[in-house]
Structures are given as structure tokens and as C-alpha cells.
Structure 1
Amino acid sequence: MSRPVPGQIPSPLRPRLVVPVLAGLVFVALAGFIASGHGFAFDRSLILLFREPGNPAQPLGPAWFQEAVRDMTAFGSFVGLFFITTAAALALWLCGYRRLAAGLVLSVLTALLVSNGLKIAIGRERPDIVAHTALTFTASFPSGHAFLSAATMLSIAGCVGIASRRDDIALLCLVLAWVMILLIGLSRIYLGVHWPTDVLGGWSLGVVWSSVATAWIGRWAAASDPG
């Protein structure tokens, strides 16, 4: 059995063209529709599913569950993703995978700029049918928590998979990343601070972003990172 070459992407992380293409089409369709001033009827219905019937101000579940959801959403905040990215980049750097570390940081920083730019350009209003149970400071589409958590965690999974060159480790990182991504995105809807299509758009763009980043970082790292 031949030994994998430096920078080789394990099979669970190799971007299949159809997945990022479909995700890209979903994002473009949502962004175009929303930017033109249209909305989706199911957005309202889905948000209300997370609220007490007849009392939109009250999220479902006991107080401890509501607090747990706020804790979960914090993982997708700028602060949460900063520490996650820093830990992953430093670990890669100390293990000798300096291009992987640099590529990861560059991917996350540029994703942050793109997220804020899209919010400003599209300017969608936040949901107004339920009381927000978390503070917000920017426009609604795409969900920054959904996009940045997907772009960051899937890129980290890609970098760890490339460094390990093992399919089992790559798959484990990918599964854990998606569990976090889904929980963070759903928490934004539960807290009433995002329309479901904001989250879907963020997830879609995050898949595209991380697929491109993983392919690019893998090729770049192959030039000099340890084998």
C-alpha cells in the first residue's frame, strides 16, 4: 500500500463537484430572491415552530434548555470561532504544518470579510415576528453564525484530515464539524434572530467556501509541509 503524499486530501474530504455546485446555486438563488425584496412564507412558519403556541415571545422548552441554546450559539460567534481557529492553527503550526495553519487563518479571515460585505450589500431585516433572545448588530442575510461556522469548522476538518492523511480521522472531524454547524444554525432560528433562509444561505455558502479552501490549502501545503 503506497504512502500518501504530503497535502493529499483524504477521501471523505475530497470535494465532489456536485455538492459545492448545488450549494452555490442554492445560495445564489436565495441571495437574488431576498435582495430583490421578496420573502418566503415558510420562514415565518418555521420560526413559530420554535415558540410556544399563542405566545411568540416564549421559546419552547424550560429555562435550562434556552440557556443551553444560547451557549451553543456562542460557539458560532466571532469570539468562539476566534478561539477555535487559533487553537487549530497553533496545533498545526507546532506540528510543522505551517502552510496548513496559514491557509486556515487566511480562509477564516477572508470569510469574515465576505460575510460582513454580503450583509451590508443585501441588507435584509432581522425577523420581527418574535422577540429576540440574543443581541444582534448586523443585517440578517446570510447568517454569519451559519456561514462562518461552516467555513471555519469544515476548513479545520479539512486541514486536520490533510495533516493526518487518514480517512477515519478525516471522517470523524467532518462528522463532528457538521454536528456543531447544524446545532449553531438551528440555535439562531430558535433564538428568533434569523430567518431559516438566512441559515440555509449561510450553510450553502459555507460548503462552497470550505470546499474551495480545502482543495486550495491541500495543494499549497503539498509544496512544503512535512510528509
Structure 2
Amino acid sequence: MSFLHPRFLVPLAAGFAFVGLALLIVSGHSFAFDSRLVLLLRVPGDPATPLGPLWLGEAMRDLSGLGSFVGLGFMTITASLTLWLCGYRRLAVALAASVVLATLVSTGLKIMIGRERPDIVAHTALTFTASFPSGHAFLSAVTLLSIAGFIGLAARREDITRLCVGLAWALIILIGFSRVYLGVHWPTDVLAGWCLGVAWSSVAVALLGRGMAVDAPAARGARLAR
């Protein structure tokens, strides 16, 4: 694949974008649009109240829950077991290992960078760790894009791959937006999480997935036939 191919350039650019944002945050740089976007989602003059009806706030909490350790963990276990039972055992192991390692890296980055959560609005969801990068944004991108990529490798069909990636991105964006709406993340936390997640999942699928796709049932059958 050419180095100018989007499949190479996009994750590379995403990786550099994350590093740039991380260095700016560590150096103490702040972004004016962070505050403006957070306040834009609150009732003017009442930063404790999110915009929209009560059901919207509940829907945002539900979406945020899908990006939690429990939500993403359940998705990872389900996808890994499915791949395993279908005969793609190396893909199953690669998926589980990628998500677990990403979870450890997310925790480590939060501890090292230590950015404070938004303090200009009331939080409408509980938080227990630092703000940068958004673990929900990072881990949802890693998990969902890796699942989509590995399913694409197993299915060997571009239409299925595109469908899975499209659905994955729809949920990734909604989860990231929910974190800003709930007031628990700055927009740059979410953006950084997305960038790192894109880079991570791309490497996982390219280096782990494609090499381990040889474990597919069809591939094993071909080897046995020889």
C-alpha cells in the first residue's frame, strides 16, 4: 500500500494530532473554544442545566454508558467470543488484547497528564479520573473500530466492512458528544481521544488483524487440502 493512501495517512495524521494536543495540554495551554462549546450546550445564564428536554439528558447518560468500561467490555467479550466460535481464534485474542492494552494506556495517560475536568458547568455524570484524554472517546474508538475492522477481515467483504465502520463511527461520535454535553469533558479531551483511538485501531487491524487472518477457517481448510 502506498504511503500516500488514506489508510496510511489518516491514522498517521491522527497520531500526530494527538501528540500535538497532549504537548499543548501538558504545557498548560488552554483553548478558548473549549469553554465556548461547553457553555453552548447549557441554558444561558444557568450552567447547571443542559439544553433540551429531560429525556435528552437521560439519553446522553445512556449513550455515555455505552462508552464505559462495562459497555465496551461487554461489546469486546461478545465480539471476541463470536470470532472465536466462528474459528477466527487469533483475531479474537488480538481484539481482546488490543482493548485491554488500550485501557491500561488510557489510565496511564490520564495519570501522567492530570488535566482537570471542566469547572465552568455542573457535571451531570459521575467522574473518577482525570480529563485528558477522554477515556470514553479513546476506548470507544479503539473498541468499535477494531471490532469493525476484524469483522471486515473475517467477512472478506467490502460492503460489510463499510457498514460496520459506518455504524461504529455513528456510535463513537454520539458517545464523545455525550461526554461534552454532560459537562465532564472538554471538547479537546474528546478530540484527542478520537485521534488516538483512530491511530491505535488502525495499527491493531493492520499489524495484528491482517497477520492473524490466516487463522480463518477458509485458510486452514486450504492448508489442509494441500
TM class, shorter-length: over 0.9
Tell me which amino acid in the other structure corresponds to 1:89: S
1:220 shift after superposition: 2.6
Q: Which runs of 5+ in 1 are unaligned?
A: 1-13
Higher relative contact order (Cα pairs below 8 Å, separated by 6+ residues):
1
Q: Does 1:224 align with 2:224?
A: no
Which deviations, in whole Å up to 9, do the C-alpha atoms of 1:57-86 show, x marking residues without a partner? Answer: 100011111101100100000000010111
Counterpart of 2:155 in structure 1 is 164
Sequence identity, in percent? 67
Tell me which amino acid in the other structure corresponds to 1:100: L
Tell me which amino acid in the other structure corresponds to 1:132: H
Q: Is 1:81–1:149's contact at 8 Å kept on the other side of the alignment?
A: yes
Tell me which amino acid in the other structure corresponds to 1:166: R
Q: Which runs of 5+ in 2 are unaligned?
A: 219-226
Tell me which amino acid in the other structure corresponds to 2:36: S
- Over 3 Å counting, the alpha-carbon distance change for 1:218 and 1:15 in structure 2 is farther
Counterpart of 1:214 in structure 2 is 205
1:29 shift after superposition: 0.7
Query: TM-score, length-normalised on structure 1?
Result: 0.92
Which deviations, in whole Å up to 9, do the C-alpha atoms of 1:94-115 show, x marking residues without a partner? Answer: 0000011000000000000000
Q: Whose helix proportion is higher, 1 or 2?
A: 2
Q: Is 2:80–2:96's contact at 8 Å kept on the other side of the alignment?
A: yes
Partner SS, residue 123 of structure 2: coil
Counterpart of 2:165 in structure 1 is 174
Partner SS, residue 223 of structure 1: helix
Q: Is 1:99–1:220's contact at 8 Å kept on the other side of the alignment?
A: no
Counterpart of 1:10 in structure 2 is none
Moved over 3 A (4+): none
Counterpart of 2:39 in structure 1 is 48
Q: Is 2:38–2:180's contact at 8 Å kept on the other side of the alignment?
A: yes
Partner SS, residue 217 of structure 2: coil
1:205 shift after superposition: 0.1
In 2, the alpha carbon distance for the partners of 1:115 and 1:222 equals 27
Aligned length: 214
Which deviations, in whole Å up to 9, do the C-alpha atoms of 1:146-188 show, x marking residues without a partner? Answer: 0000000000000100000000100000000000000000000
Q: Is 1:74–1:80's contact at 8 Å kept on the other side of the alignment?
A: yes
